Amino acid sequence: MNAHRKQLVSLACPVYCELLASVAAGIINTVWVSRLGGPAVAAVAVATTTENVLLGVALVFGTGTTVLVAHARGAEDSGAVRAAVRGGWALWALVTPVVVGAGFLLREPLARLVLGGGEGAALPLAVAYFAISMPGMTVFFAQNLVDGVLKGTGDTGTPMRLALLANGLILVCDPFLIRLYGVQGAAACTVLCRCVTLGVALLALRRNTLLRQCAGVRPAEGTGAALRRTLRTGLPLSADFTVRQAGALALVGIVARLGVTAVAAYAIAYKVMYVATMAFYAVRQAAAIHTAHTRGAGRDARRAIGRQAVLVSGSVGFVAAVLLAGTAPWIMAAFGPGPDVVHDGVLFLRCVGPYLVVMACHIALGGVFEGSGSAPVLLRVTLLGTAVQLPLAYAFTGLGLPGVCLALALAMAVQAGVVLVLFRRTGPAQEDADASLARAA
C-alpha cells in the first residue's frame, strides 16, 4: 500500500468512529426522550440543532490548534508545540464565557427562535433543557480542544476512545435520568457524562508522549501572539462550517416547496447519508493532519497526499452510492414513515450518488488545504458553491427531489473543479517525500 495512503487510513479510521459516535449521542437521546411525547422530542431536537451550530465556534480553537500542533510536531519544534497548545486554551478561555453566558441568558428567546415562535408545550421544555445544556457547553468546548491537541500530535485513537466512552455512559445513564427528571434528565445526563469523559481526556493529555517531552520547554511566543495565531488559523475553518450549515438549512426551506412528504423523505435520507459523509470528513481531517506534519518537517508532499486522499474518499463515496441505491427501499422502510415518504426517500437516495462521489473527492482534497494553511481559499469556494446550489435547487424543484439532487451535484462539481485547479497549482512534491515517509513508516 502507498505510504501516504496507509497513513491516511490509519489516521482516518479512528476519526470516523469518533464522528459516528458523536452523531449517535443525539440519536440515543432522541430514542429515550421519544417516550415522553412529541413536545419533548421537539425540545431535544432544538438543543441538538443548536449544539451543531455551536460546533462551528469550537472549530475556531479545536481545529486551529490541531493544525498548529501538527505543524510544530512535523518541525520538531517543542517551543512551537507549547505555544500552540497555550494559544488554543487562551482562545477557549476567551470565547467560551461569552458564548455560554449569552446562550444561558437568552435561552428563552433562543428556544422561541429555533421553534418558530409560539407558546406550545415544547417551549418550556426547550428552555429547561437549555438551562442545563448551555453551561454544559463549557465542557463540550473543552473536550473539542483536547481532541484537537491530541489529533495534532498524531493521536486520533484516543479521541475515538473518548467519544465511545462518552456515548457509552450516555447509553447507560439516559434511561434512568430521563425517567426521573424528564427532558432535564436528558440534558443532565449528557453534561455529566461529558464531564467524566473530559476528566479522562485531561489525564490522556498529560500522558501524551509528545506533550510530556515539550513540558519543560519555553513557548516559542507569548500567549497573546499564540491566541491570535490560533484565531487566524481556525476562523476560516469555522466560517466554512457555518456557511455549510446555513446552506443546508436554506435548502430544507427550498425542499419544503415540494410538500411535507418531500421534506420528511429528504430529512430521513440526509441522516442516512451521514454514514458516508462522516467518512469523507474523517479522510479530510487525516489529510489535514498528515499534510501539516510533512509541511512542518520541510517536505512538500501535498500533491501525493491529495491524490491518495481523493482515491480513498472517492472509493468510499462510490461504494456508498452503490449501496444506498441498492438498499434504499429497506433503509427507508426501516424508519416506518409511510409509503409516500418511503417512495420519495428511495428516489432521492437513488439519485444522490453522483453528488456523493464528487463530494467525497472535494471534501478529502480540502484537508490538504487545511493542513497547509490555505483554509481561507476553502471558505471562498464554499461561498461560491452555496451561491450556485441554492438558486439551482430553487430552479429545479419542478423536477422534484431528483432536481434537488441535480442541483447538489452541479454545485459540488463547481466547488470540486475550482479546488482541483488550485490544487494543481501547488508546488511539486519533493522527489524523496514518498521514500522518506515509507522509511519512517
Q: For residue 238, give every residue at least 6 positions away whose Cβ sits within 8 Å of its Cβ, in sequence order, or none.
A: 56, 57, 59, 60, 63
Q: pLDDT-derived band of residue 35, with 50, 70 and 90 as boundaries?
A: confident
Q: pLDDT at position 415, please?
A: 94
CB 325 within 8 A of CB 349: yes
Q: pLDDT at position 171, please?
A: 84
CA distance 377 to 374: 6
Q: What is the mean pLDDT of residues 230-257?
A: 83
Considering only residues 55 and 156, tell me which one the structure prediction assigns the higher pLDDT: 156
CB 3 within 8 A of CB 18: no
Which range scores top for mean pLDDT: 5-19, 116-130, 358-372? 358-372
Q: pLDDT at position 437, please?
A: 37
Q: pLDDT at position 58, please?
A: 84
Mean pLDDT of the residues in the chain: 86
Q: pLDDT-derived band of residue 218, with 50, 70 and 90 as boundaries?
A: very high
Residue 416 has pLDDT above 70, yes or no: yes
Q: pLDDT at position 1, please?
A: 57
Considering only residues 395 and 31, tell me which one the structure prediction assigns the higher pLDDT: 395
Residue 378 has pLDDT above 50, yes or no: yes
Q: pLDDT-derived band of residue 135, with 50, 70 and 90 as boundaries?
A: very high
CA distance 187 to 128: 9
Q: pLDDT-derived band of residue 52, with 50, 70 and 90 as boundaries?
A: confident
Query: 330-344: per-residue pLDDT in tens?
Result: 988 876 667 888 888
Q: What are the cell numbers at 29?
A: 437521546
Query: 172-197: per-residue pLDDT in tens?
Result: 898 899 889 988 998 999 999 999 99
Q: pLDDT-derived band of residue 122, with 50, 70 and 90 as boundaries?
A: confident
C-alpha distance from residue 387 to each of 248, 270, 376, 394 (Å): 12, 21, 17, 12
Residue 119 has pLDDT above 80, yes or no: no
Provide the percentage of residues in the chain whose pLDDT is more than 70. Answer: 90
Q: pLDDT at position 267, please?
A: 75
Q: pLDDT-derived band of residue 21, with 50, 70 and 90 as boundaries?
A: confident
Q: For residue 58, give every residue at least 6 positions away whose Cβ sits within 8 Å of its Cβ, in sequence order, or none.
A: 140, 141, 144, 145
CA angle 58, 61, 65 (to 5 degrees): 135
Q: What is the mean pLDDT of residues 136-144?
A: 94
Encoded amino acid at 217, one letter: V
Query: 61-99: per-residue pLDDT in tens?
Result: 888 999 999 999 988 899 999 999 999 999 999 999 999
Residue 435 has pLDDT above 80, yes or no: no
Domain boundaries, the chain: 1-220, 233-441
Q: pLDDT at position 373, please?
A: 80
Nearest to 323 by CA among 279, 281, 377: 279
Query: 379-389: per-residue pLDDT in tens?
Result: 899 999 999 99
Half-sphere exposure (Cβ direction) of 146: Cα atoms closer than 13 Å: 27
Length of the chain: 441
Query: 106-115: per-residue pLDDT in tens?
Result: 988 888 876 6
Nearest to 425 by CA among 380, 356, 377, 371: 377
